[in-house]
A and B are shown apart, each in its own frame.
Chain A
Amino acid sequence: MDIVIRAAVMFVFVWLVTRAVGRRELSTLEPVDLILLIVIGDLIQQGVTQNDFSVTGAFLAVGTIAAMTVFFSYASFRFPRLGPIIEGDPVILVEHGEPLMRNLKRNRITLEELAAQARLTAQIAHIRDLEWAVLETSGQISFIPKQT
């Protein structure tokens, strides 16, 4: 029973951590972000299974994490008001070629990062050529160029 409770508690805690650190950190692989992503998995494994090396223990831990994932996903789907809390919601970063500095700042994204992402993922050289840039709930930025 303990392993199920530990896995559920760790799931909620890791969800809280991921929401606290911000979505950009979870979708990029900058050196500091990489540390978080690598270390988090290793540390929670010890907290969940502890000295239990059994297959049964692994079944229970994986099953609990899977069940919690489905539960959170279903809650977000069934009750749309929970969606922004559980997963966050999209944030517009650029509108008609103009960067929205307030939203960029709130998500700790610099203009340099935005421009780099635009070049990398959408092959757009200038922010002014963007109609929209949207920070999605996954932490990735989608770019919609201006129609010419």
Chain B
Amino acid sequence: MADVPDQLVLKVARDREGRRDVLFRRTAFTAILILLVLGLLNLFGQRPQTSTVDHPAATLELTAPSRVRGGLYYEARFRVDAIRELKKASLVLDSGWIEGTTINTIEPSPISEGSRDGDLVFELGHVPGGQEYVLYLQLQVNPTNVGRHSHDVQLYDGEELLASLDRTQTVFP
């Protein structure tokens, strides 16, 4: 009967004593599966969520993903339902919207853009009562912009604050 090949120990190589390779493999594979399931459950983005805030004068609705990954393109849709006439409507976006993010398109173009205490201001102008105004932003996440960012949005009519949405966006690497 031939000898056992050099450097092989039968208890290990044949009987697998003290070896947990199958357990390790299954654990690693389970971890990968859990990662996939979490991905399907939108833990890593980029499924959009809709947030709404009501005011007697207007309703502000934002549809955008709250979780995204570096490099992704996504859309943020702001819908203003004017219940009464808004003479000088404007949206104020927290600086977290623009930090480390590229704005590819804003449609329709606001009447003007500005800055208020470091936040981004889009002036929408006159919105008649009973009408809705929808603003689309096409954005891209810069890959180095990892972390949590404030994505608050406020709707003003002139200097009057009508509605405020508190949101946070998480950017995964």
A positions within 8 Å CB-CB of B: 2, 6, 16-17, 19-22, 50-51, 84-85, 88-92, 95-96, 100, 103, 106, 131-132, 134, 144, 146-147
Contact = CB atoms under 8 A, between A and B. Distances in A.
B2 A132 contact: yes
Nearest to B4: A132
Contacts, number: 61
Contacts of B144: 2
A134 B4 CA distance: 11
Interface in B83-114: none
B22 A106 contact: yes
Given A131-B2, A147-B2, A20 B29 contact: yes
Given A21-B29, A50-B70, A100-B14, A88 B21 contact: yes
B71 A134 contact: no
A91 B173 CA distance: 38
A95 B22 contact: no
B2 A90 contact: no
Interface string B47-88: 000000000000000000000001100000000000000000
A144 B28 contact: no
Interface of B: 1-2, 4-5, 8, 10, 12-14, 16, 19, 21-22, 24-25, 28-29, 31-32, 70-71, 143-144, 173
A146 B2 contact: yes
B1 A89 contact: no
Q: At the interface, is chain A mostly helix, strand, loop or mixed?
A: mixed
A20 B10 contact: no
Contacts of B71: 50-51
Contacts of B31: 16, 20
A19 B16 contact: no
Given A19-B28, A96-B2, 5 more contacts: A20-B29, A50-B143, A85-B24, A96-B1, A132-B5
16 contacts: A2-B144, A20-B25, A20-B32, A21-B29, A50-B71, A50-B143, A51-B71, A89-B12, A89-B21, A91-B13, A92-B8, A103-B16, A106-B16, A132-B5, A144-B2, A146-B2
Given A50-B143, A103-B16, A134-B13, A90 B8 contact: yes
A132 B4 CA distance: 8
B10 to A, nearest CB: 7
